Structure 1
Amino acid sequence: MIAAMGATVAFDGFGPGAQVPLMGSDGQTGATQALASAAYRDSPLSTIQEADNDLYKTTVKEGRWGLFRPDLGEAFSRAVQVRVLGGARKALIQSFGADPQPVVEHCLAATHIRRQRDIKLTLVTFVCGVLFLPGLLLWLGVIQLRRLAAGSENRRAGAAGTALLLGAGLVAAIVLIKLPFDGILPNYLRAMIVAPVLGWFLARRICERYAVDLRERWTGLLSGGGVGPHVPKSAPQDPGEKSAEELRVNLEKLSAEQQSNIVFYAGAKGVLGLGTRWGSWTLAEELVPQAGREIHAFRAWDVIRKIHDELTLLERGSLKTGFPKPTVKHWIISPVGEGADEVTRPEGDSIVHYQVKPHEIQRICNDQQFGAGNRHYLGVQFTLWDGNLVLTMMVTVTSLLHTLRIEVTGHALGPVHGLFTTKPKAKTKEVSKTVRFWETREIQQPLLETDDIVRLAVRAPLTWYPPVLEFLGGKMVLPEPFGLRHVWAGPLWKNRFMADDAIRMATPVLRAVHAATVKMLDDHGVDTERFTNRSMFLGGAVQDPGPKKADVYDA
């Protein structure tokens, strides 16, 4: 496995380096598609804050004018693209249990679909709005006043807003009739009133057609199928296509960073991307030689190699119970502050494409066990529930003076928040029946309301310069340090089956680690009686483990 980590593959401009299989690369389509579905959603932007957990909060920045506000899909796609593909972006946290590249590609595809819609809306806005700008401004003013009134908690104010729109329509009809029919100015005034209304009808048809397409893609992703993301110009056809080449390089960089064997520990937040630490078991005893023998010298790396070999055989149990095949990988953990808003990936001769070279991993394992510096951990990971549950056991070996210490810690990353797994619902309204007024029925409402049509139409001409649009309408700011998977992870311990899986997984892993350790020590002339007794005690305690906040010390 370590030899494979040193292999490199060359690419133009940037290569992903060592082709190390991502921990948990199998069975993670559910979490990936749930996150990708956010790019197609037309929910209010504020709903994203429902997915926040105790450790990560999404910020929604309000704009200057509510008519330019984005919906969830627009803001999510924009925020993810800027954060993941931006030229000056910060380092990303790996998305264990999900694949970030398809999520980003769906964001690009959703943006492309909306831009195709905005091209048509811009043409309609120009012909029916800009050429008759005074009338457009008058109608926008009426709609804005209606929106402010409708948003009030006072029912009378909401009714007044509807009456305001009806009154404006009545006044417009009177003006059309009373104006003289001769002359350019009267006819322009008529057109000034009629053209924005005609443009609204055309914009409605355009918006509804694209809204149906976006909702079908949203539904398809959550149903396990759907249309794959179509990202135009993602592959350059000639050397002159700089934007396509830049996109290709950034996507390759994203894949390479996802496969990095460097992770970060951030205090109470745990190992970023792996979830908080819920359990810890320590086997620490003095190294005493066997009677009549001397201890054959060994180092921490020798113990880790034996444990690695034993963990790869976990699926070969006595009973055929479908125990999943784990992914075993060597990790370098770098400490960062709990409140850090960014992480910096180490660089140097010993790192190639975000991968620490094998000889450096071995050196860190043997030498950096005390004091400042990065630490080495051996991780065994299970990706379950279609990527919605990521269970990781981390093993570290340290030796100080005559004491050998083997520590096993359990980390758990919960499911993607339920907000991302909800399918679109038809808009309905409950009304009383005509005859049997004491009974009610549901009637179908239009997919898009008047305010939605106007919002999309006024946003369309500005989508080509997003900073201005974000200034006017607002935007979403992603939590940091950012990774697509862990910042929107829901609670694990409230799901009984998932909690059971986490607790049951600890026992076979812990016993495999102890068995490999005792065997290795016995081969090197160490008296293993104390280690065996301690292992038996831990083996009994792990049969009834309870989740704890092991990263929070009560001191």
Structure 2
Amino acid sequence: MASDFDFRPGAQVPLSGGAGQTAATTALASAAYRDSPVTEILKADNEWHKSSITPPKLSLFEPNLGEAFSRAVQVRMLGGARKALIQSFGMEPQTVVEHCLAASRIRKERDTRLTVLMAVFGLLFLPGLLLWLVAFQLRRTLAGASNKRAGAFGMAVLVAFGVLAVVFLIKLPFTGFWGIYLRAMIVAPVVGWLWAKQVCERTAADLRERWNGLLSGGAVGAKIPEAVPKNPNETAAEQLRQNLARLTAEQNSNLVFYAGPKGILGMGTRWGSWQLAEELVPKDPDKDIDPFRSWDIVRAVHDQLKLLERTPLHTGGFTAPSVTHWIVAPVGEGAGEVSRPGDDGYQIRPGEIQRICDQQQFGSGNRHYLGVQFVLWDGQLVITLLVNVTVLHHTLRIEVTGHALGPVHGLFTSKPSPKTETISKTVRFWETKERSLPLVDAKEVVRLAARAPLTWFPAVLDHLGGKLGLPEPFGLRHAWADQPWRHRFMADDALRAATPVLRVVHQAAIRVLEEHEVDTASFGSRAGFLSGAVQGAEPGKADVYNA
């Protein structure tokens, strides 16, 4: 990572994404505010990318999904020693990170209040607090067992402990100060718990409101004042601001990674491939063809792809595409990390791009691809078609490959459901009614109160409560993306885009060949055949080579 990257103060202008590309961003950002079990995220894993959860040493300190997700994303994407990230196409990863920071800030404010309550009602009456915590930990351990009888036994243990506490208060063998203290030792944690419950309820309601607001299209902003330095001495705020700026710069890198059957990381697996490969023969047998380079064809294709949104008819047609020169680096299928150049803001310079396009066509090294990308369905579908041009001996080969990245898993688009239960009416017992339940139950209050003092020591909390491990190489979008083929219209959009793009590429290439005195008869015939074949394109696994 270059140390001379320009981080001067100024307006932070998003460099990627665009208007309307918010669905994937808000869906992933909503995970920071969720209160469901952390194991729920395992349901969102796809075929190639798997999350992991470190089991807790004590289940009383186990995080929920929002806590684990926020912590994991912040460390992975803003940590000082973090590895390189994979681009998240069709969304704004910085926005997701900002919501993780905002959610952590809300929880930190709650934990500050809970820590004060723990000090007043717990630390001063530590023996009683420890007894209550042991009872709740024993109940969580037994209730979490697969045996239902063990779960019932855990509840019975807690009830028995409460009964013994009452008996202990009534028939206490001590008098004077120690008698009062021992009685307070049992009662004070309960009083603190009642107060803590109110604090937890308010915070839970706030988090759920933000969760629902993000998925409902509301203007839920991420407030992170700690990222705005107020004076030159606030080094932590300045460092956070620089890390967010680096995240945006890396998101706009033009270097991507090909990982075998996983396809190009961040773009989805390769579902289709079409090749035009013919011999370069001069139009006039008595003359040689005019010399040209691969870059000449690529540049002509680039100019034509920029015009894809134009159509002779007054129809909807294509949205404005993004046309980019990509450098593709090969990595192993099981690679745990990737690396990027730190110079020039994570960008491969234009001169180097042209050199790779013209020279690195055979053997080791990175390769050049010209990509046209469509971000559709409010950012939920990313269609990328890549064009590669090579010349080996007398053979010109033009390859077009299709990649599709589907919507984020449905787990991230689910809204919070109200906590209710169905009970029988008192008089008309044959009828039922819905009764609202508190957002935070008794055991959740105990869990939050027990975790609160340790939030200032996150490493200790991770050790005791476990943590979420993100799939590597990590990128927010591809880690939890579904295949688009399960959605009929998304699949249609991906398949329909291939035909006009392929024709534009072939027309531009043939025009360059004609300008350089190349006989294009064979190229025209092959292009016509591919134009017909692509009309029946079906999604496949083009990166899985069958023996």
Looking at structure 2, the residues matched to 333 and 206 of structure 1 have their Cα atoms a distance apart, in angstroms, of 51
Q: 1:94-173 to 2 correspondence within 5 Å?
A: 94-173=87-166
Q: C-alpha deviations, 1:90-143, integer Å up to 9, x for none? A: 000000011110101011111111110000000001110111011111111222
- Give 1:182 shift: 4.5
Which of 301, 304, 308 lines up with 1:307 in the alignment?
Answer: 301
Q: Secondary structure at the match of 2:181?
A: helix
Structure 2 CA distance, aligned partners of 1:20 and 1:103?
Answer: 13
Query: 1:134 aligns to what SS in structure 2?
Result: helix
Deviations 1:9-44, CA, capped at 9 Å, x for gaps: 94349999xx9953x544321100111111111110
How many residue pairs get aligned? The number is 542
Q: Secondary structure at the match of 1:129?
A: helix
Matched, 1:280 2:273: yes
Match of 1:255 among 245, 248, 261: 248
Contact persistence 1:15–1:253 (CA under 8 A): no
Match of 2:540 among 548, 551, 554: 548
Identify the match of residue 238 of structure 2 among 242, 245, 256: 245
Does structure 1 retain, via aligned residues, the 8 Å contact 2:306–2:323? yes
Q: Look up the match of 1:407.
A: 399
Once the two structures are superposed, residues 246-285 of structure 1 have per-residue CA deviations (whole angstroms, 9 ceiling, x without a partner) of 1011111111000101111111111010000000000110
**Maintained 8 Å contact 1:68/1:469:** yes
- Give the corresponding residue for 1:3: none
SS at match of 2:519: coil
Deviations 1:500-526 (A, max 9, x none): 110001011000001101111111111
Aligned with residue 292 of structure 2, among 298, 316, 328: 298
Matched, 1:327 2:319: no
What secondary structure does 1:411 align onto?
A: strand
Provide the residue aligned with 1:220 in structure 2.
213
Under a length normalisation based on structure 2, what TM-score does the superposition of the two structures give?
0.96
Q: Distance in 2 between matches of 1:333 and 1:531?
A: 27
- Choose which of 182, 195, 203 in structure 2 pairs with 1:189: 182
- Residue number in structure 2 paired with 1:524: 516
Give the equivalent residue in structure 2 for 1:466.
Answer: 458
| Paired AA for residue 333 in structure 1 | V
Residue equivalent to 1:344: 339
Distance 1:428 1:403, change over 3 A: same
Deviation at 1:543, TM superposition (A): 0.5
Aligned amino acid, residue 377 of structure 1:
Y
Instruction: Specify whether residues 153 and 438 from structure 1 end up closer, same or farther in structure 2 by C-alpha distance, changes over 3 A only.
Output: farther
Distance, in Å, in 2 between the alignment partners of 1:103 and 1:293 is 60
Please, what TM-score do these two structures have when normalized by structure 1? Answer: 0.94
From 42, 50, 64, give the equivalent of 1:71.
64
Using the TM superposition, give the Cα deviation of residue 476 of structure 1 relative to its aligned residue in structure 2, in angstroms. 0.3
The 2-side partners of 1:21 and 1:140 are apart by 50
Please list every run of 5 or more consecutive structure 2 residues that lacks an aligned counterpart in the other structure. none
Distance in structure 2 (CA, Å) of the matches to 1:392 and 1:320 = 25
Match of 1:4 in 2: none
Would you say 1:484 and 2:476 are equivalent positions?
A: yes
CA distance in 2, matches of 1:286, 1:142: 80
* Cα deviation digits, residues 417-461 of structure 1 (max 9, x gap): 101000111112233344554544332221111110000000000
Q: Do the aligned partners of 1:14 and 1:249 also contact (CA within 8 Å) in 2?
A: no
Moved more, 371-380 or 132-141: 132-141
Query: Structure 1 counterpart of 2:76, which letter?
Result: R
Per-residue deviation, 1:346: 3.3
C-alpha spacing 1:543/1:21, structure 2 compared with 1 (3 Å): farther
What letter corresponds to residue 93 of structure 1 in structure 2? I
Q: Which moved more, 1:213-222 or 1:235-244?
A: 235-244
Residues 279, 548 of structure 1: 8 Å contact kept: yes
Deviation at 1:295, TM superposition (A): 1.4
Q: 1:235–1:248: 8 Å Cα contact kept in structure 2?
A: yes
Instruction: Tell me how far apart the structure 2 counterparts of residues 402 and 153 of structure 1 sit (CA, whole Å).
Output: 68
**Distance in 2 between the 1:546 and 1:20 partners?**
36
CA contact under 8 A between 1:395 and 1:409: conserved in structure 2? yes
User: For the Cα contact (< 8 Å) 2:301–2:509, is it kept in 1?
Assistant: yes
Return closer, same or farther for 1:169/1:10 CA change in 2, 3 Å cut-off: closer
- Equivalent residues of 2:25, 2:95 under 8 A apart: yes
Q: Name the CA distance, whole Å, in 2 between partners of 1:400 and 1:13.
A: 49
Query: Is 1:268 paired with 2:264?
Result: no
152-161 or 415-424: bigger deviation: 152-161
Query: Aligned partners of 1:385, 1:391: CA distance in 2, in Å?
Result: 11
Amino acid aligned to 1:258: Q
- Deviation digits for residues 144-167 of structure 1, max 9, x if unmatched? 222233233444433333333333
**Distance of 1:472 and 1:21 partners within structure 2:** 40
Structure 2 residue aligned with 1:366: 358
2-structure distance, mates of 1:284, 1:44:
54
For 1:362-511, list aligned pairs within 5 A: 362-511=354-503
